[in-house]
Amino acid sequence: MSYNIFGMMVKVMENMDITNSDFNIPSDILDEIQKNIQNIIESFDIPDDNKTDVIKKINFMYTQTKFMSETDPLTRLYNRRYFENNFEREFARAKRYHCDLSIAILDIDFFKKINDTYGHSCGDYVLKEVAYLILNSLRGTDMVFRYGGEEFAILLTETCSENASIPLERVRRMIEDSKFYYKNHKINVTVSIGYSSCTDFETPWQMFDDADKALYKAKECGRNNVKSSVQ
């Protein structure tokens, strides 16, 4: 590759401004792309200093891009794709090593009413605040994801059903007790949570459906509560 083309490549990389909405690439594909590009640059007939400079820029861009491929842009939580990959892995690990695992689905009560009454900007504010409260109510080893809309998924590793109810109830209470203000309007926000700790299913998505049924049970019981699939 000539210096001219090589220089153009560096300039393009320096001026790239990538946002979450610009691409939809799984992180494992990004890993493979990054590895292949680095190998290609190593093969160029150019000074090593130039190679090192470009590889550093590629690695920096790769880190940014990988982060955005795994993250929800509004809440900064892990996104649905990252949840699916991690849930499948943790479910397989729990089955293989006979570990405890709990999966919870959290839904903001009457979220549509909040949007309809105060506008979607208010809805975004509530989503970000709820995400923050969930993260600050759980252990560092627990994983929180924005599953979609007003739903969040929580993975509680090494956690049986009895122990799962404690942090999930803490999350529910923390959100209920928090003060939400938007443009001088006080907004009452509560959540319903359903969870499953049963790993006897053949697939992780059967366990997910079990938690989803528990969520519907929580809503049928008046919302603003926590229900397990065995209650």
Instruction: Kindly list the domain boundaries of the chain, sorted by start residue.
Output: 3-70, 80-228
What is the average pLDDT across 98-121? 97
- In this prediction, residues 79-88 reach a mean pLDDT of 95
Structural tokens at position 147: 């599953």
CA angle at 67 for the pair 40 and 171, rounded to the nearest 5°? 160
pLDDT in tens, 163-202: 999 999 999 999 999 999 999 999 999 999 999 999 899 9
| Confidence at 12, pLDDT banded by 50, 70, 90 | very low
Instruction: For residue 138, give Cα distances in angstroms to 13, 55, 105, 143, 154.
Output: 39, 38, 14, 9, 10
Residue 138 has pLDDT above 70, yes or no: yes
User: Per-residue pLDDT averaged across 89-112, rounded?
Assistant: 97
pLDDT tens per residue across span 31-79? 776 677 767 677 776 677 776 777 677 767 666 666 678 999 999 999 9
Q: Is the pLDDT of residue 27 over 70?
A: no
Q: Which residues contact 155 (CB under 8 A, 6 or more apart)?
A: 83, 86, 87, 90, 101, 102, 103, 142, 143, 145
Active site residues: 150
- Average pLDDT of the chain to the nearest whole number: 86
Fold classified for 80-228: Alpha-Beta Plaits (3.30.70)
